[in-house]
Amino acid sequence: MTEAAGLYVHTPFCSAVCPYCDFAVARGGGADRERFVAALSREIENRSGRNEGAFESARFDTVYFGGGTPSALSVEQLGAIRRRLVGTFAIDPEAEWTIEVNPEDASAESLARWRELGFDRISLGLQALDDRALRFLGRRHDAAASRECVERAREAGFRSVSVDLIYSLPGFDAGWWLETLDEVGALGPDHLSCYELTIHHGTPFGRRRDAGRLRETGEDERAANFVATHRRLAELGYEGYEVSNFARREADRSRHNRKYWRHQPYLGLGPSSHSFAGRRRWWNVAPWKDWSAAVAGGDSPVAGCEKLTDHQLLLEAVMMGLRQRSGVDCAALERRFGTDPAAGAAGQIEAWEKAGWLRVRGRRLEPTLEGMARADRLAGEWRLP
């Protein structure tokens, strides 16, 4: 493997499960967390079960602790996991180390100790800066904690501080959201991830929607909110380099997440984690106890695997390109796959350019803001030759 790879570690635990969440998360006590760390150590030793061959000689330059809530683990547990990773994999000394954290866990002492462990980038799950919105979202922290943890993370010396926010909340208007962006901009994080609220079947919000007790924001309103978000954050000095991600500087963009968007290799460890190498993608069992039992029993924790064709890879590359400000580099994709991805979509491209959704710059197709708001639709209508 010649490309540097990314390493993802999934922590399944949360102190409470938010009503909108459909991730592989669970509440767990101290014994469960010890059991998880032991199983994860064994999976690391096995190099992702029986799929280690793709990464035997890999060099990793990003490590991302996500979840769930990695900050639900003790500093000692996180340190043990980190030592096992460094002792097992070839991790670049200058690798980007990211940890996701909830504000209620982000005391000055905890932040300092996470920084001492080697995490240089922190992602803070604020979700909102308003107590009413936080209660609606089922979060356990208040607005004051949201503000304080950004300031404390900066004081702890993290190279890059990122915050997560959720918008298009039923009952909260566009003016409220723009005020939120202004307030978070004043706090000065280096990076923001802004996600539209998605209501999934089977979640508490999904059940409330299906019962007619929760109104889902309409498509037109969501598109307007999307464009307003990018425009306001641009005014505040944040470039929207992907549909949901914004950074002050090139150096503050998530190096790890770009691996997902660019078909670069990544290895996932822990329940529900995904891995990708070449044209193979595989994923682990989602329920953490099932994953743990498989690892403890010496079995593979892998739940499924697919081998992608050139056609599938090319279509994915187009889809991910439409979600990024840099767009679709048709020349690069033709060199990679031997097929011009635009050859079968000339009519659509011309129509989208006239509609103001795409800019054609030579052989690069760059989505406008209105185009990025419709990225999934454009990808669905794209016709490969």
Q: What is the pLDDT along the chain (385 residues), one digit of tens a residue?
A: 678 999 999 999 988 889 998 887 888 788 999 999 999 999 998 874 444 567 878 999 999 999 999 999 999 999 999 999 999 999 999 999 999 999 999 999 999 999 999 999 999 999 999 999 999 999 999 999 999 999 999 999 999 999 999 999 999 999 999 999 999 999 999 999 999 999 999 999 999 999 999 998 888 888 899 999 999 999 999 999 999 999 999 999 999 999 999 999 999 999 999 999 999 999 999 999 999 999 999 999 999 999 999 999 999 999 999 999 999 999 999 999 999 999 999 999 999 999 999 999 999 999 999 999 999 999 999 999 8
How confident is the model at residue 220, as a pLDDT?
85
Q: Which residues contact 49 (CB under 8 A, 6 or more apart)?
A: 43, 284, 294, 295, 299, 300, 301, 302
For the sheet with 266-269, list strands across it. Answer: 239-242, 245-247, 191-196, 160-167, 121-127, 90-101, 59-67, 5-11, 266-269, 274-277, 280-284, 302-307
Token representation of residue 179? 């005020």
- Integer Cα distance of 112 and 42 in angstroms: 28
Residue with the two structure tokens 């011309």: 350
Nearest to 68 by CA among 131, 140, 14: 14
Structure tokens of 266?
Answer: 């990544």
- For residue 375, the 8-state DSSP code is H
Q: How far apart are CA 379 and CA 376, in angstroms?
A: 5
CATH 3.20.20.70 intervals, the chain = 5-260
Which pair of tokens denotes residue 349? 């491209």
Q: Which residues of 327-336 are buried (b: 16+ CB within 10 A; e: fewer)?
A: bbbbeebbee
- 354: CB partners within 8 A, 6+ apart: none
Residue 53 has a pLDDT of 60
> What's the pTM value of the predicted model, to 2 decimals?
0.95
What is the predicted pLDDT for the residue at 49? 42
Q: Give the separation between CA 242 and CA 231, rounded to whole angstroms.
A: 13
CATH class of 310-381: mainly alpha
Q: What is the DSSP string of 106-143?
A: --HHHHHHHHHHT--EEEEEEE-SSHHHHHHTT-SS-H
Dihedrals phi, psi of 13, to nearest 5 degrees: -90, 140
E strand or H helix at 67, and its extent? strand 59-67
In the chain, residues under CATH classification 1.10.10.920 are: 310-381
3-class SS of residue 357 = coil
* The pLDDT value given to residue 2: 78
Of 48, 23, 122, 17, nearest to 78 by C-alpha is 122
List Cβ neighbours of 91 (8 Å cut-off, separation of 6 or more).
Answer: 7, 59, 60, 61, 63, 85
Q: What is the DSSP string of 294-306?
A: HHHTT---EEEEE
68 and 12 Cβ atoms separated by less than 8 Å: yes
Q: Are 165 and 189 in contact (CB under 8 A)?
A: no
Query: CA-CA-CA-CA torsion for 281, 374, 167, 139, nearest 10 degrees?
Result: -20
Alpha helices in the chain (DSSP H): 30-46, 75-88, 108-117, 131-136, 143-156, 174-187, 204-210, 219-235, 255-261, 288-296, 310-322, 330-337, 346-355, 369-373, 375-381
Architecture of domain 5-260: Alpha-Beta Barrel (3.20)
